[in-house]
Amino acid sequence: MLPRTTIPMAYALETVPRYTSYPTAAQFEAGIDEGVYRTWLGALDPAAPLSFYVHVPYCRALCWYCGCHTSVLNDDARIARYARRLIHEAEMLADAAPQAGSVAHLHFGGGTPTILAPDDFAAIIARIRNLFTFAPDAEIAVEIDPRTLEPEMAQALAQAGVNRVSLGIQDMDPQVQELVNRVQPVEDVVRTMDLLRSVGITRVNADFIYGLPKQSVAHVRDSIRTMLDLGIDRAAVFGYAHVPWFKKHQNAIDADLLPGAGERLDQAHAAEAAFAEAGWEPIGFDHYAHPDDAMARAARAGTLRRNFQGYTTDEADTLIGIGASSIGALPQGYIQNEPHLGKWAQAIDAGHLPVVRGVPVSADDRLRRHTIMQLMAGLQVDLAAMARAHGQKPALFDAALMALEPLVADGLCRIEGYHVSVTPQARFFVRNIAARLDAYWQPNPGRHSLAV
């Protein structure tokens, strides 16, 4: 395992945004409504690519670590009604954005998107394809629970053009799985991988979590090695965020069994070492990819991006969300759909786009977003060049540079003039550095997740 960093542990305990947007969701407000959203949609550039995110907020069982907008539902009729409303929402979006560009990415997340009936899933994709133009090389991705994928659904994925899937692995140790209510034998994962290959889906992401109850460095390492042997080509490794005051079901997890800050950092390093031993490349602070994967190539080329799904090869500046709680990003700002399923359904049935909040993006926001995302993706940024590209003077960042001085002294970053670079041992702490460039950030233990 790589040696533990000598960076003060206080930085691991800081709560900082994940910076999948800027401004972050903490700045969203109710003043952004359907009327604003329709105006933004109507102004989309037909020459600019766009992406879609479709949220399916249902699972067959609730994993206690989950921080997503989801609920347990075993009523297939209700799930079918939700699918029909997704199609209706897509139709309203198409009416509101008649000049939308071609779709470069379509991502189904959740929850468990494959809880949809195969015919309903196929109908949703078919209707979106009918409403919007798709690029010939569009990526269509779906998140999958390996415990529940059936042959009929695998076949539906392939026939609908799905060319990348993401498997929720988290940890493969039976005791850890029991403690988080996600019992997932390795046989289920092997079966799912074989099933996907049998229908021609070979591009597979795996999601892992560290910081779970009774989890160890060995658990993290062994889980990753197992998935590497099964042939994944991309991975994300997230730190568990224990926020039972926000997600009540997390009270089922015994906080006394959670690893401490030092153990969490050791587990993050164990993941890094496991991928390094396999010859994989680190991507940002929490992703990894095979050197031949498109994400690794994008990182090397400097074209890596970041959005609500994390690091991505998606170069579209417009992301349209469909479904309850989904978030969209447009050139003018961000919007979020109604997270309450009943209220979302009522809005759809009444013919309204179900927007409940968002935030417009100012000129300063665009500059800081560009700067923070460059730092998050490339682990370095030229603040002077960023300022000039946005018609500002580099001195705009002087206060941020002063705020970074303690981080320089503690070994997190280096500053040469206006050039900021993350030190090799501080890759996991890039969010701490980005927070000092954030005009809105204030330390708040209840609002953001731990840095590591």
Q: Are residue 70 and residue 131 in the same domain, yes or no?
A: yes
Determine the pLDDT at residue 1.
38
pLDDT value of position 431? 96
Judged against a pLDDT cut of 90, whether residue 74 lies above it is answered with no
Q: Domain holding 222: CATH number?
A: 3.80.30.20
Residues 57 and 175 in one domain: yes
Please state, in angstroms and rounded to a whole number, the distance separating the CA atoms of residues 199 and 219.
Answer: 31
Look at residue 398 and tell me if it is in a domain: yes
Tell whether the model's pLDDT for residue 4 goes beyond 70: no
226 located within any domain: yes
Residue 327 sits in the same domain as residue 386: no
Residues 368 and 356 in one domain: no
**Could you tell me which residues come within 8 angstroms of residue 225 by beta carbon, excluding any fewer than 6 positions away?**
274, 278
Per residue in 215-251, pLDDT tens?
Answer: 999 999 999 999 999 999 999 999 999 989 888 999 9
Number of domains in the chain: 2
HSE-up of residue 262 (Cα within 13 Å, Cβ side): 4
Tell me if residue 217 falls in helix, strand or coil. helix
Residues 297 and 415 in one domain: no
Residues 204 and 337 in one domain: yes
Pull the structure tokens for residue 280.
Answer: 């994989």
Over residues 309-338, the pLDDT tens digits come to 889 999 899 999 999 999 999 999 999 999
Q: Are residues 325 and 386 in the same domain?
A: no
**Which residues make beta-bridge pairs with 419?**
382, 416
Is position 7 within any domain? no
Q: Rounded mean pLDDT of 78-104?
A: 97
* pLDDT(445) > 70: no
Residues 110 and 254 in one domain: yes
Same domain, 425 and 354: no
Burial 407-426 (b: 16+ CB within 10 A, else e): beebbbbeeeebebbbbebb
| Contact (Cβ atoms closer than 8 angstroms) between residue 305 and residue 312 | yes
Kind of pairing between the strands at 305-307 and 310-312: antiparallel
Do residues 306 and 386 both lie within one domain? no
CA geometry: angle at 200 spanning 198 and 202, to 5°?
Answer: 100
SS3 49: coil
Mean pLDDT of the chain: 94
Domain ends where: 340, 360, 380? Answer: 360
22-68 confidence digits (pLDDT tens): 999 999 999 899 999 999 999 999 999 999 999 999 999 999 999 88
- Determine the average pLDDT of the residues in 4-25: 88
DSSP string, 68-126: SS-EE---HHHHHHHHHHHHHHHHHHHHH-TT---EEEEEEEES-GGGS-HHHHHHHHH
Distance CA 33, CA 167 (A): 34
Range of the domain at 423: 363-450
Whether 324 is covered by a domain: the verdict is yes
Q: How many residues does the chain have?
A: 452
For residue 31, the 8-state DSSP code is T
10 falls within a domain: no
φ/ψ of residue 247, rounded to 5: -115, 95
Which one, of 7, 24, 1, lies nearest residue 442 by Cα?
24
260-306: pLDDT as tens digits = 999 999 999 999 999 999 999 999 999 999 999 999 999 999 999 99
CATH classification at residue 393: 1.10.10.920
Domain co-membership, 218 together with 324: yes
Contact 236, 205 (CB under 8 A): yes
Task: Please check whether residues 279 and 414 belong to one and the same domain.
Answer: no
- Strands 58-59 and 281-283 come out as unpaired
The reported pTM is 0.94
Which pLDDT score is estimated for 2? Answer: 39
